[in-house]
Amino acid sequence: MKNPQHLFAFGSRQLDLSEPHVMGILNLTPDSFSDGGELFAGGKPDLARVLRRAEAMVQAGAAFLDVGGESTRPGATPISSQEEMDRVLPVLEALQQFPVILSVDTSNPELMRESIKVGAGLINDVRALERPGALLAVAAGTLPVCLMHMQGQPLTMQERPAYEDVTEDVMTYLRGRIEACERAGISRTRLLVDPGFGFGKNLQHNLHLLKYLDELQSLELPILVGLSRKRMLGAVTGKAEKERVVAGVAAAVIAVMKGTSIVRTHDVDATMDAIKVCRAMNAPERFQ
């Protein structure tokens, strides 16, 4: 029997976050840093391609599918609210056929409200509900939200990132956003946190943050991380984006060993194998 304190509600679904889970990335953009355009054709997401990718991720064991219609890679420029909704909402509706939690990667309050209506289970916001109206949009519903740390904005965030102590600075920011959520009527029971690897952080910042990631457990909220194929892994290995699978899996295992509940990745199959080993180590009695 699961310990109730570890059950987290994602819309109509519950998930035991006492063990780690994998979130598969579905980028509905022409310009995301690693896979931009792969699910895009004729100026819009290619639904058939999206569904094939989603099915493969679900079969590999993903507990979440994270759908994003606006690139947040370094140097990315914003798109209109309507364009983002036109990319995401039809896909979100089509993904209802899969028995997983659907996460919407957005900072757009209008899309947040519409996503709730069409079956989203999580709002995943790289701007931690800082856009005008975002707090109200989430407070008006019941869905959980993941608050991510980002220094600056995607267009300029990698120009000159600077911190006194990156881990402490990230936690201070997240504490502030948690308090803002609570003031807006969003309970802590609906919150997750993400330290934001690669978002306004150089290689040294990212490596320091990974080394001391377990300190985020002091926030007493589930931790989500996205390290898949990121530049920090390329800097360490010297490999291009799609050749960083092994490095991404290694980083995911480190993150899980330091208390992460959800690992966001492009490479679900390989990451899931690693997560299974982590789960087995924590519960060897399953294999007697």
What distances in angstroms separate CA 281 from CA 210, 220, 255, 274, 286, one per listed residue? 21, 23, 15, 11, 10
Q: Residue 73: which of 169, 145, 156 has the closest Cα?
A: 156
Q: What letter does residue 244 receive in the DSSP assignment?
A: -
Q: Output b/e per residue, 248-272; b: 16+ Cβ within 10 A.
A: bbbbbbebbebebbbbbbbbbbbbb
Q: Residue 223: which of 167, 286, 161, 267 has the closest Cα?
A: 167
264 vs 57: CA distance, rounded Å: 12
In this structure, the dihedral spanned by the alpha carbons of residues 57, 279, 197 and 91, taken in order and rounded to 10 degrees, is 20
Residues designated as active site: 230, 264
Q: Which two tokens stand for residue 136?
A: 């109200």
